[in-house]
């Protein structure tokens, strides 16, 4: 089935027309299209200029180039440039041709996930740099999640068994919230789940809604099983490497 088979009619119109969600505005030139949160357009464009000028911290983790840049009084922004995985990365590397563009779709999906109560980072903007023949390079901008480690990094800190159990229960509750909200994650793994210990209470965020699917009702069991199977494979790979 197509992605649009599970999206309400109103969302189909949003994605097809590339009209950004409420609270975002389009900033377009002949070479680029940006969808930026209202009131932050200038700051976000300045953050991108800081990257071009080499005034950004490059971070480790995940596919693509991830950089931290100064943003506002609430803290830095995280800028992620999309890069291909799998065999196709050897041929096109960071070029995409999907419609709607994947950064735009991820922005919309992340906004919807937050509106439906899924704990995730705040998305600030997305953009594409148009290339020849309809190809593009993509970028997503989010707020930094200070103090969080991805689940894999957290496990490497060798926490006590009781803490592991508490965090696992909290993560499963968060995943259930996502599923009940009608969001199917395309790549649920250890690095896309963030954990922070805040005053003896563990907080969890789920990130990276690239290629996620939106359902108008709680997720069907087949998709829940698929998400959890992907997570189990990630855990099994981590255990094998330990």
Residue 107: which pLDDT band, with cuts at 50, 70 and 90? very high
Question: What pLDDT score was predicted for residue 73?
Answer: 87
Could you tell me which residue, 231 or 51, shows the higher pLDDT? 231
Question: What pLDDT score was predicted for residue 197?
Answer: 87
- With a cut of 70, say whether residue 2 has pLDDT above it: no
* Contact status, residue 126 vs residue 110, Cβ threshold 8 Å: no
| 165-212: pLDDT as tens digits | 999 999 999 999 999 999 999 999 999 999 998 777 899 999 999 999
- Across 41-50, 158-167, 231-240, least confident range: 41-50
| 156-178: pLDDT as tens digits | 999 999 999 999 999 999 999 99
Residues 126-141: what's their mean pLDDT? Answer: 92
Residue 134: which pLDDT band, with cuts at 50, 70 and 90? confident
| 61-96: pLDDT as tens digits | 555 678 999 888 889 999 999 988 766 655 677 899
Question: What pLDDT score was predicted for residue 223?
Answer: 95
Question: What pLDDT score was predicted for residue 14?
Answer: 38
Question: What pLDDT score was predicted for residue 133?
Answer: 86
Could you tell me which residue, 2 or 99, shows the higher pLDDT? 99
Question: What pLDDT score was predicted for residue 51?
Answer: 80
- With a cut of 80, say whether residue 13 has pLDDT above it: no
């Amino acid at each position: 089935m197509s992605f649009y088979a599970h999206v309400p009619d109103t969302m189909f119109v949003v994605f097809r027309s590339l009209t950004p969600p409420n609270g975002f505005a389009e900033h377009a030139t002949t070479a680029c299209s940006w969808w930026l949160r209202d009131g932050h357009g200038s700051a976000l464009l300045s953050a991108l200029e800081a990257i071009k000028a080499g005034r950004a911290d490059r971070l480790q983790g995940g596919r693509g180039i991830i950089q931290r840049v100064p943003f506002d009084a609430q803290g830095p922004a995280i800028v992620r440039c999309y890069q291909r995985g799998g065999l196709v990365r050897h041929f096109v590397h960071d070029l995409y041709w999907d419609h709607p563009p994947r950064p735009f779709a991820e922005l919309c999906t992340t906004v919807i996930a937050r509106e439906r109560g899924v704990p995730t980072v705040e998305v600030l903007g997305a953009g594409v740099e148009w290339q020849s023949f309809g190809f593009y390079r993509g970028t997503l901008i989010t707020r930094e999640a200070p103090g969080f480690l991805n689940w894999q990094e957290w496990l490497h800190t060798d926490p006590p068994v009781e803490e592991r159990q508490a965090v696992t229960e909290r993560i499963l509750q968060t995943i259930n919230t996502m599923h009940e909200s009608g969001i199917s994650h395309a790549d649920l793994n250890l690095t896309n789940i963030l954990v922070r210990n805040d005053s003896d209470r563990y907080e969890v965020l789920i990130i990276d809604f690239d290629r996620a699917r939106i359902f108008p009702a709680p997720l069907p069991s087949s998709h829940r099983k698929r998400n959890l199977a992907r997570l189990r494979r990630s855990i099994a790979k981590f255990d094998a490497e330990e």
